[in-house]
Each structure stands twice: as structure tokens, then as C-alpha cells.
Amino acid sequence: MRTAVRTDRELECPRVDAGLRARGVELITLPEGIPEAELIEAVADAELLLMCYTPITARVIAGARHLRGIVKYGVGIDAIDIEAARQRRVPVVNIPEYAEETVAEGAFALMIALARKLGPLHREMQAAGWAWPVNQWLGHDLAGKTLGLIGVGRIGRSLARMAGAGFRMRVLGFDPFVDRESMRRAGVEKCDQLTDLLSSSDFVSLHSVLNADTRHLIGRAELAAMKPSATLINVSRGALVDEDALVEALVSGRLAGAGLDVFSQEPLATIGHPLSRLFGLPNVLLTPHLTFYTHEAMERLEDETLARCDELLEGRPVLVKSHDPRLRSQTHGVVLA
């Protein structure tokens, strides 16, 4: 019997699990955070490896003797050793399109909630039953403000449309891989320098891939370049930000606020985590890496995941829809959309 391994079973994918079993595949599901040695043992005879967050190292790939492909049921591929997979001629594919609108909506929800102080207001209503219009609750309009996008791909462009056409915001963009005309068509003004965007924006939203060049893209110097009245939104990858520097900026009041859905070390914890100091801050909204998590997005994710699994199980080239050069440069077992 064919075998597939799916890591990160805490993210429930019942249609994927049932679909693989209906195809006669023995499915092994593993928890998030499984030790590398246990994962190596589990994938020894697997033809498919499905992952979301669990690191897929060179040792894991080397130990999977019969592996036909690695399917990231999600977007980011920074946890996969792509070069090790390439050397083993194991194709890697992700599911890039399932939540571009969904995640943009999540980023926008964080932005408007922070602008209107909805988190503290909700807590006040729960505690006291009412809140009078005093200065403590005074919020901000989005109309007329400037949104800076770091990364102007699918999600960034969706957020630009919502903010610009929907809320009459000015939208700036920094992305070395997107030209000025493409940004203009998306309603975005291109900034050639990151600091120009940071110093001009009332809200900064991150939509970049994580790689060696973008790790800690937002560090102390970049946070210092932002307006003290500005808010940072991150629904992309936690390690894009120097989180120690971000905590200092938020606790000291150097930065007005932050809405964070992603973190370098997940899950968070109220005690003993590098970001534990953020809990309870009135200018911070924290969500548990779930801006992608809607009924509609999960249906798209599971359908696309099964389609990629079918291609691999049937020995066909797997369809790469991503624009990430790490995936598009593969030369074995893939076809590019």
C-alpha cells in the first residue's frame, strides 16, 4: 500500500485525509513539533510528504527513500530544504493562491481594529458594560492615511485594492521584484528605498517571502525610521521582523501599535516566551497564525492539495503555480503554470 505522511495534524484537513485514504493511501498524521529523528523514521517508506510548519531538513529528505514529492499545504516554503530536495530529484510544490484575498482581509481587519481601538474597547465593555467617549478611546480614520506595503505580490495587491479603492487610502509599495508600472496598475506608488516607505506610512503591512535576504528586514533602524504614530501589521512571517526590537519599540511607546498574526517562535505563550511582554498591551493585537483560516480558503486549500497529490501519485509532473524562484527553478518532476 502507498504511504503518505502529513505533519502538523493540529491544522485539521479532513477532506485531504479522507481523500488520500479513499485513493488507497495509508496516511500517517504527525503532530507539530515532532522531533527530527521521529519524522525520519515515519517518512522512511512514504511516497508523499505533506507539511505546513514542521521543518523538512536535508536529513529528513535523505531518509525518505521512496519520496515522490513534498507538498506544502500552504504558501511559505522557508521550512523546507529546497536544495536538498533538488539534489534528491524530489519535487516541492506549495499552494499559493488559496488565501490571497483571505489573508489580505485578515491584515485589513487588524489594521482597522487597531485604528479604532476595538480590542481595548471590547475588553472595557466586557468589564464595565459601557465606555464613554473620552480621549482614551479616540481612534483614527483610515481615509486619507498612507498604507505602506512591503511585498506587492498577490496578497499585497489585494490589500492595496481594499485600502485604496475601498477606503481612499494612499498606498505605497516596496518590492524589488515588481516594476513601477505593475504597481501603478495595482493602485500602488513604488518606493525604491524601504526607508522612504517607512517614513511616509501611517500603517506598514508586511507581505514578503522569508529567505536569507529578508530575515529581519524590519530591524531597529527600520523601526526607528517609522513615524511614532505608525502601526505595523505582519501576517506574513514572524522572522521578517527583529522581534526583540519590535517589543522594545512597542513597550516604550516608540511605535504606536502592531497587529501580529505570525511569530518566529510558535506557538506563543503568556509566560516564558520572547514575546510574552506583548500580552495585555492596549496597542497590540495578537492572533494565532489564523488569518488564512476561513471555510472558503480551507476548501480551496484542500482541493488544491489533493490535486497536487494526485499528480505525484500518478507519476505526472506536479503543477507549480508559485512565482517563487526557488520552486520555479526546479528541473525535475514539475510543470510551471
In the predicted model, is pLDDT for residue 152 greater than 90? yes
Domain at 2-98+295-336: CATH code: 3.40.50.720
β-bridge mates for residue 26, sequence order: 3
In the predicted model, is pLDDT for residue 242 greater than 90? yes
Same fold for the pair 2-98+295-336 and 100-286: yes
Active site residues: 237, 266, 289
pLDDT, residue 1, reads 83
- State the pTM of this model: 0.93
Rg (CA), the chain: 21
In the predicted model, is pLDDT for residue 182 greater than 90? yes
> How large is the average pLDDT for residues 149-165?
97
Domain ranges of the chain: 2-98+295-336, 100-286
Per-residue confidence at 312, pLDDT binned at 50, 70, 90? Answer: very high
**Mean pLDDT over each residue of the chain, to the nearest integer:** 97
Q: What strands lie across the sheet with 2-6, from one edge to the other?
A: 25-29, 2-6, 48-51, 69-72, 92-94
> How large is the average pLDDT for residues 217-227?
98
pLDDT, residue 19, reads 98
In the predicted model, is pLDDT for residue 181 greater than 90? yes
CA distance 27 to 204: 42
Closest CA relative to residue 310, chosen from 31, 108, 45, 24: 24
Alpha carbon distances (Å) from 245 to 221, 263, 294: 9, 13, 32
Percentage of the chain modeled with pLDDT above 90:
99
**What kind of architecture, by CATH, is found in domain 100-286?**
3-Layer(aba) Sandwich (3.40)
Percentage of the chain modeled with pLDDT above 70:
100
Per-residue confidence at 259, pLDDT binned at 50, 70, 90? Answer: very high
